[in-house]
Structure 1
Amino acid sequence: MSTQISRGLVDRFYSDVLNGRRLEVIDEIAAEGYAEHDPLPGQGEGRAGLRDRVSMLIAALDPRFTVEDVIAEGDRVAVRWRNRGTQVEPFAGLPASGKPFDIAGIDIYRVAGGRLAEHWHVVDQLTMLMQLGFVPAPAGAAR
């Protein structure tokens, strides 16, 4: 599979699914046995689990993702992104804060059979928790 096709799948995930709120696109771009290596609390497995994850993120955090870098090689696609949103509903056991956040993260996807097959990520959760008011920022730290 070409890296262009792999990049296109990932682009559709961010533009159509996460930012466009079109959950039905997940059925077109993710494998039935999709493997999430860093699941959210309460997230199911497979493609349905990815739908759970996106539904939770959209409902609770009203996110807007900006893709800053995409690197594709072989069956892997790495994405460096920025996520700006507001926590409007409870999320991962935390009550709704009503506060905005602006965080960075990196996702890595494995593509197989023309679909997203696996996902790993690193997210700046500490900054998010500080911005939402759940963890105090150290003195002099930028928020």
Structure 2
Amino acid sequence: MTTTSAAHNKETYRRFHDALNGAADAPLIQKLIDDFVDPDLKLHTPLPLKSTGADSIKEVFQTLRRAYPDLHVAIEDLIAEDDKVVSRNTVTGTHLGEYLGMAPTGNTVTYKEIFVFRFADGRITEAWGVVDVLSQLRQLGAMPGGIPGGS
């Protein structure tokens, strides 16, 4: 894989990320995922998902947007090498909808995540994610050790 390919993958991911960050309605999010993600995506996360392939990413965004309608993902670092792009992010949102069985709290949460995306033919074909769910749960008051609204 050339440096040009890595740069192209990085730019493709940035376009995908920026479009998703600005999308609030489910049909647009689904279209964006269809445009940028391979239908047979392999998603490696510990999330309890009911779907597979690109539908798993749709399920994640549907769950997050329902829970945090003002969800915003800020890229802190974006690194590309060969066929992979790594994004270290800070996620913020206000808990206004059901999330992991919890009723809305109105709390604002801020948490970190890191994702590695593998590209083939200009599309995301595989993804690995590490998300600080413990921090989320503490800020929502579901786990001891945190102050609601703090990180």
Query: What's the TM-score bracket when you normalise by the shorter of the two chains?
Result: 0.7 to 0.9
1:31 alignment counterpart: 38
Cα deviations by residue, 1:60-88 (Å, 9 ceiling, x for unpaired): 12310110110000111100110010111
2:109 corresponds to = 101
**AA partner of residue 64 (structure 2):** L
Runs in 1 of length 4+ with deviation above 6 angstroms?
Answer: none
Shift of residue 138, structure 1, vs aligned partner: 6.2
SS state at 1:70 partner: strand
CA drift at 1:6: 0.8
2:79 equivalent to 1:76: no
TM-score, normalization: structure 1?
Answer: 0.88
Q: Is it true that 1:126 corresponds to 2:134 in the alignment?
A: yes
Shift in Å, 1:91: 1.4
Task: Say what the alpha-carbon RMSD is for the aligned residues.
Answer: 1.9
Which runs of 5 or more structure 1 residues have no equivalent in the other structure?
A: none
Matched, 1:20 2:23: yes
Amino acid corresponding to residue 10 of structure 1 in structure 2 = Y
What runs of 5+ residues in structure 2 fail to find an aligned partner?
none
Q: TM-score, normalised by structure 2?
A: 0.84
Tell me the residue number matched to 1:41: 48
Distance 2:11 2:50 in 1: 25
- Deviation track 1:10-42 (CA, whole Å, cap 9, x = no partner) reads 112321124433311111110010111116334
Residues 1:47 and 1:138: Cα distance change in structure 2 (over 3 Å): closer
Match of 1:50 in 2: 57
Q: Which residue of 2 aligns with 1:60?
A: 67
The count of residues paired between Structure 1 and Structure 2 equals 141
Partner of 1:113: 121
Distance (Å, rounded) in 2 between the aligned partners of 1:109 and 1:60: 24
* Conserved? CA contact 1:102–1:128, under 8 Å: yes
* Rounded Cα–Cα distance in structure 1 between residues aligned with 2:48 and 2:98: 12
Given that residues 43 and 50 in structure 1 are in contact (C-alpha distance below 8 angstroms), is that contact kept between their aligned partners in structure 2? no
Contact 1:60 1:87 in 2 (8 A): yes
